[in-house]
Amino acid sequence: MEKNTNIIDKSSDIGKKISRRDILKTAGVGGVGVILGASGLGGLLSITESKATTKEAHEIVPFYGKQQSGITTKTQNHVYFVSLDVTTSKKEDLVQLFKDWTKASALLSEGKAVGDLSSNEFLPPKDTGEAAGLSASNLTVTFGVGPSLFVKDSQDRFGLKHKQPSELVDLPKFPLDALEDEWTGGDLCIQACADDLQVAFHAVRNLIRIARGKAILRWAQTGFQRTKQADSKNETPRNLFGFKDGSINPDVNDEKEMNKQVWVQPGDGPDWLVNGSYLVVRRIQMFIEVWDRSTLKEQENTFGRYRDSGAPFGKKNEFDPLDLKHKNDKGEYSLPVNSHTRLSHGDGSQQILRRAYSYSDGMDLKTGSFDAGLLFLCFQRSPSKQFIPIQNRLAKMDKLNEYTSHKGSAIFACLPGTKPGGFIGETLFN
C-alpha cells in the first residue's frame, strides 16, 4: 500500500491535491482508488474521496474552542494519559513547548501528521508515522498543569507562584490511600482520548517527542471502554466488576450545568483559568480475583445497584432516581449506608463529571494477580467542594474499599481553550 501511494503522489495531479490519508483510505478498498487516480478518472476518484472525507469529518472533534476538548465532549473508547516532569528551567522554553504542542495537537485532531511524513531521507521523519492512513478517530488532546509547575521544593520555578490557584494544591491524604510514587503527581499532563488506541498513542508519542529537552515522562497509563463496534446501542460501559459505570453524571449538553459543575468561572480564582477545569486522576487497582469469589448479593450490596440492569436498589431502570429513604422490615435502609452509590451521592449537592476508563496492565508482580482497575478521571470546578468531600466519605466507609486500592493520584488545572493563532496556556504564561 505504501508503494501505491507513492505512485499517486508522483504521477497524478489529482493525487497531489488530496491528502495522503485520503489516498490511503481510498486505496484501502483493494487499491481501487489507486488505479482510478492513475488512469485519470478524476470524477470517480473524487466521489470515492468525498465519501471518505465525509466519514472522516464525523470523526473529528474540533481542537480549537473556548474550552479544551476531552472534558465535556463525548467519551471515546480509549485513553492514553501521561503525567510529565518539566526539565527546563526557562519560562520561554515552556511557552515554546505549549505553542508547539498546540499546533501539533490541532493537526493531530484532524487526523493529520505533525510534519511531512518523508520530507528528507537524511533526517528522522518529523512524524513517527504509525497513524498514517488512520482516521482522526475523534482524538482529543487535553493539557493540564500541576501544582509542582508553580512551586517545587519551595522554589518559584518559573515566576508563576503568584498565579497558583488556591484549589491547585496536592490532594490531602485520604484514609486507606496506598499511593506509590511511580503513579503520583506531575508538573503537566496530557490526556489523549480516541476511538483507536494507536491514534491516541501516536498523539502522545509525538507530543512527548516535541517536548525533548523540556519535559519528560513521569508516568503513563492507558485505559479502555467497550468499543462502539462491540456495543452499537452505546449503552453505559461496564467496569471490570461487571457493573454499569457512568450512569449518573451531570448533563454535558446543559451549558448552565457545566458552568456550575465543571468550568471555572470568573471570580472563582485567578482569571487565567476561567473556562478551564480541575482534573483529579486516581489509579485505582481493583482486586478482581477477590471480587470474583464474592456472591452476587454481596456485589450488588457493594454498589447498591443491580448488576444486570444497573438500576438502584428498589428501582427497575438504570436511570431511575435513588430512593434514599426507603427502609426494609428490619428498619435498615434498602440502599445500604455503606454502599458506593449511597455514599458517593451523599445529599446530591456535590457532583463531578466522571470520565473514567478501565485499565489492564498485565500482572501485579508483587502478588501474582491481575494489575487491573479503573483510571478514575473526573472534572470539576472546585476540588475542595466536589471531589474531596466525596472521596472523604468514600474513603471512610465505602464497602467498595474491600475490593480496591488507590495506587496513583494527581491533580491538574486543565487550561482554557484557544483560537487558531493562539496557544493553550496563553492566559497563564502571558
Binding site for ligand HEM (CB under 6 A): 239, 241, 243-248, 282, 284, 286, 303, 305, 322, 340-341, 344-345, 352, 373-374, 376, 387, 390-391, 394, 400, 404
Q: How far is the CB of 70 from ligand HEM (least distance, A)?
A: 19
Specify whether the CB–CB gap between 414 and 424 falls below 8 A: no
Question: Which of 5/409 has CB closer to ligand HEM?
Answer: 409
Question: CB-wise, 143 or 241, nearer to ligand HEM?
Answer: 241
Q: Compare residues 108 and 280 and give the one whose CB is closer to ligand HEM.
A: 280
Residue (157 or 305) nearer to ligand HEM, CB: 305
State in angstroms the smallest separation of the CB of 150 from ligand HEM.
24
- The least distance separating ligand HEM from the CB of residue 292, rounded to whole angstroms, comes to 14
Q: Which is nearer to ligand HEM, 243 or 278 (CB)?
A: 243
Q: Report in angstroms how near the CB of residue 284 gets to ligand HEM at its nearest.
A: 4
Instruction: Give the whole-angstrom CA distance, residue 411 versus residue 278.
Output: 7
Which H or E element spans position 97?
helix 91-109
Closer CB to ligand HEM, 56 or 245, in the complex: 245
Instruction: Give the three cell numbers for residue 382.
Output: 472546585
Q: Which residues pair with 281 in a beta bridge?
A: 377, 410
Distance of closest approach, residue 383 Cβ to ligand HEM, in angstroms: 10
Give the C-alpha distances (Å, rounded to integers) separating 162 from 151, 157, 169, 271. 10, 11, 13, 12
- Cβ atoms 31, 1 nearer than 8 A: yes
Taking the alpha carbons of 158, 164, 168, 171 in that order, is the dihedral positive or negative? positive
Instruction: Indicate left, alpha or beta for 191 from its phi (over 0: left) and psi (-120 to 50: alpha).
Output: beta
Exposed, middle or buried by CB within 10 Å (0-12, 13-18, 19+), for 122?
A: exposed
Residues 207, 104: Cα–Cα separation, whole Å: 7
Q: Least distance in Å: CB of 112 to ligand HEM? A: 35
Is there a contact between 112 and 175 (Cβ–Cβ < 8 Å)? no
Query: Quick count: other Cβ atoms within 10 Å of Cβ 261?
Result: 23
Least distance from ligand HEM to the Cβ atom of residue 398, Å: 8
What whole-number distance in Å separates Cα of residue 409 and Cα of residue 375?
A: 10
**Closer by beta carbon to ligand HEM, 84 or else 322:** 322
State how far Cα 340 lies from the chain centre. 23
Strand partners, 333: 327
Question: CB 146 → ligand HEM: shortest distance, Å?
Answer: 19
